[in-house]
Amino acid sequence: MEPSEREDFIIQKYKQEEQLMILLFAQWCVNHDLDPAAIYKKAFPAQTKNQQLTEAVEQTLPKSEADEIPLPSLLEVLSWFEQDELAFIVSEEANQLEKR
C-alpha cells in the first residue's frame, strides 16, 4: 500500500468511527427522550447545524427497538474523540434524568 493510500485509508477509517460515535450519542439521546441537536447545541452553542448529527438522528431506532447504551460506554467513546464538552453536557443530562 502506497503512503497516500494508507493515509486515505486511515482518514476514511477515522471518519467511519467518528460517524459511529455520533450515532451512539444520538441513539443514547433518543433512548432517554432527549433531543440530540439540543444537547449538542448546549455543548457547542457557537456552532451551526451539524450535518453529521442530522444524518445520525435519521439513522436512530425508536426507543422501543433500540438496545440500551450504557452511559460509561458513551462517555468513553466521546472521550476517545476528545468531545469533552459534549461528554460534560451528557453527564449533566444523565444526572438530571436520575433525579426524575
Q: What is the pLDDT of residues 16-31, one digit of tens each?
A: 999 999 999 999 999 9
Binned at pLDDT 50, 70 and 90, residue 4 comes out as confident
Residue located via cell numbers 439513522: 59
Q: What pTM does this model have?
A: 0.91
The secondary structure element, H or E, covering residue 23 is: helix 3-31
Instruction: Show the cell assigned to 58.
Output: 435519521
Binned at pLDDT 50, 70 and 90, residue 46 comes out as very high
